[in-house]
A = this chain, B = another copy of it.
Amino acid sequence: MTVRETCELAKKHAAYPALLTSEEKNEMLAAIADALTDNSSEILSANAKDIENGKDLPAYLIDRLRLTEERIAGISEGIKQLIKLDDPVGKVLASWVNHAGLSIRRISVPLGVIGIIYEARPNVTCDVTALCIKTGNAIVLRGSKDAFITNQCLVRVMKNALEKHGFESEFIQLIEDTTREGAAEFMHMDDYVDVLVPRGSANLIRTTKKSATIPVIETGAGNCHLYLEKTGDIKVALDILLNGKLQRPGVCNALESLLVDKDIAEEALPVLVKALIEKSVTVHGCQKTIASCPEFADKIASATEADYATEYLGYEISCKVVENEREAIDHINKYGTHHSDAIVTRDEAAADMFRREVDSAAVYVNASTRFTDGFEFGFGAELGISTQKLHARGPLGPEQLTSFKYVIDGNGQCRK
């Protein structure tokens, strides 16, 4: 099937998941969760072919690509968790009576057809499909060619499970053309696809944003900051700094930059920078940072403008001494990616200024930026972290995968 035919088919069947009851959707999820574990040997042998074909890939890509019995069980467990969540569709979000006596209700509905372009992570194939079922959306999956045999097997297993339980399955579609041209064509299928979510490298996201005629939800880039304000608790800052930088350095909500108020720099920086260096983190410090840490000044790299704008995603961090909170906020709004930023302070006025003025999806007071996550927020699932302002900001949970319609009841009203 061509890219267009695949998208057309998903669109044609989009009303089906939209009109299912909560019970039916949960029954589908249970069927899929069971089918994945029941068919794990078939899935693992498909995955083995992808691994074999990808033997020249870097080790970290192979690791992402590889499925195991344990990973399949984890995916299945994640899908079962969705069953417990509230159905986000069909909720009355607002209701009122207008001047003409019309009863107006705003009711949540699915978005329609969700397209997703992603890299060689086969778990995404199942996670996203399950999330779309829960939210009543049709789905067009466009995974990487490196995972194609696995993806094809996973989709077949999921669709068979639905059909065996008496459900339709054509609203789930996997694009067979995994070429670059196929991806470009997919991005222009706005006649059939209502929203496109690129999940992967900064380059993929940039290309999608530039090329797509389908509305895109941008996800991913996180140049996140921790600002230690002059009244802040240095011990709290240290905990949050190490958690933010080290707990999982490769993710978008990891810390990439530390800002320290000049009034607390001489006391705090030797403690903070020392801990980073001991954990093998390369610190790119401003001149004042270096001056504040005479004991290990030679171990601090000189920070450049480029450092402040870099999302390292690894054992590196930039560090800057700021005059005051004004400079800290301006720096964050200038160099950050409006993802997640934190202040450590004991001064409520300083906290409030930070909450109001930092223009980010998640603004933290005395807590780690690592909490920006659908599961940590309590959404039960997520499709990614949106860094745009349109439609949804922050973790894309089930609620964020819905739109709404107005339902208006009258008794013959006409407009005057």
Q: Is A408 an interface residue (CB 8 A)?
A: yes
Contacts of A367 in B (CB 8 A): 102, 408-414
Interface size class of A (residues with CB under 8 A): 35 or more
A25-33, A62-70, A72-80, A235-243: which one contacts chain B? A235-243
Taken together as a complex, chains A and B put the C-alpha atoms of A415 and B362 apart, in Å, by 15
Q: Is the interface of A mostly helix, strand, loop or mixed?
A: mixed
- Specify the chain B residue showing the minimal Cβ separation from A217: B390
Docked-complex contact A389 and B195, CB < 8 angstroms: yes
Q: Is A394 an interface residue (CB 8 A)?
A: yes
CB distance from A283 to the nearest CB of B (A): 20
Docked-complex contact B405 and A361, CB < 8 angstroms: yes
Q: Contacts A390-B391, A393-B405: A411 and B366 contacting too (C-beta < 8 A)?
A: yes
Contacts of A268 in B (CB 8 A): none
Docked-complex contact A213 and B215, CB < 8 angstroms: no
Q: Is A335 an interface residue (CB 8 A)?
A: no
Docked-complex contact B355 and A407, CB < 8 angstroms: yes
- Specify the chain B residue showing the minimal Cβ separation from A99: B378
Q: Mark A84-122, 1 if CB is under 8 A from B, else 0.
A: 000000000000101110101000010110000000000
Q: Is A176 an interface residue (CB 8 A)?
A: no
Partner of A414, one of B217, B359, B362, B370: B370
Contacts of A355 in B (CB 8 A): 407
Contacts of A378 in B (CB 8 A): 96, 98-99, 104
Docked-complex contact A356 and B410, CB < 8 angstroms: no
Docked-complex contact B247 and A414, CB < 8 angstroms: yes
Contacts of A388 in B (CB 8 A): 194, 215
Q: Is A360 an interface residue (CB 8 A)?
A: yes
Taken together as a complex, chains A and B put the C-alpha atoms of A389 and B109 apart, in Å, by 9
Taken together as a complex, chains A and B put the C-alpha atoms of A390 and B194 apart, in Å, by 8
Docked-complex contact A111 and B376, CB < 8 angstroms: no
The 7 closest A-B pairs by CB, nearest first: A367-B410, A243-B414, A389-B403, A370-B415, A391-B391, A236-B412, A362-B406
28 inter-chain pairs at a CB distance below 8 angstroms, sorted by A residue, are A15-B357, A18-B359, A98-B371, A111-B389, A194-B389, A195-B390, A215-B215, A215-B216, A215-B390, A236-B411, A236-B412, A240-B414, A361-B405, A362-B405, A365-B407, A365-B408, A365-B410, A366-B409, A367-B410, A371-B408, A372-B406, A389-B403, A390-B390, A390-B391, A390-B403, A391-B391, A393-B403, A393-B405
- The interface of chain A, by Cβ under 8 A from chain B, is 15, 18-19, 96, 98-100, 102, 104, 109, 111-112, 190, 194-195, 209-210, 213, 215-217, 233, 236, 239-240, 243, 247, 333, 351, 355-357, 359-368, 370-372, 376-378, 388-391, 393-394, 403-415
